[in-house]
Amino acid sequence: MWHALLRISSTRWGDGMAGPSLTRMGASLPCTLRTLSQLIHIGFTQIQWDGIQSRPLVDVNGHIFAVLAGRPDIPAYAPAVTHAFDLLAMSTTTS
């Protein structure tokens, strides 16, 4: 068994296409872009997620391989995050 560090970033285009961009040790790996319907056709499952509740992602054996972390469900959360973002953005322009 071998392991490699991969940098994965998601890319979405206006025409409904989405796909990962993988980089391994500085070299780009070829990726095939697929539509949602193509991904479902080859065995992927689309899940519903509200972005608030945490949700584990499990494989066919019940092993958790990722978690959609969610966020606090309180009214003060969004303004606090926006304020923190604004402070960080200002610090990059004033440094």
Tell me the mean pLDDT in the region 88-95: 78
Token pair for 95:
């440094």
Q: Are 21 and 12 in contact (CB under 8 A)?
A: no
Q: What DSSP string runs through 14-62?
A: TTS-EEEEEEETTEEPP---B-HHHHHHTT-------SSS-EEEE-TTS
pLDDT of residue 94: 64
Q: Parse the chain into domains and list their residue ranges.
A: 1-46, 47-95
pLDDT of residue 85: 92
**Distances 5 to 18, 20, 57, 60 between C-alpha atoms, Å:** 22, 15, 21, 24
Listed range (11-25, 27-41, 49-63) with the worst mean pLDDT: 11-25
- How sure is the predictor about 8, in pLDDT bands with cuts at 50, 70 and 90? very low
Indicate if the pLDDT at residue 83 is higher than 90.
yes
Tell me the mean pLDDT in the region 69-74: 91
Tell me the mean pLDDT in the region 64-70: 91
The span from the CA of 44 to the CA of 24, in Å, is 24
pLDDT of residue 95: 56
Residue 6, phi then psi, degrees to nearest 5 = -120, 135
Q: What DSSP string runs through 70-94?
A: ----STTHHHHHHHHHHHHHHHHHH
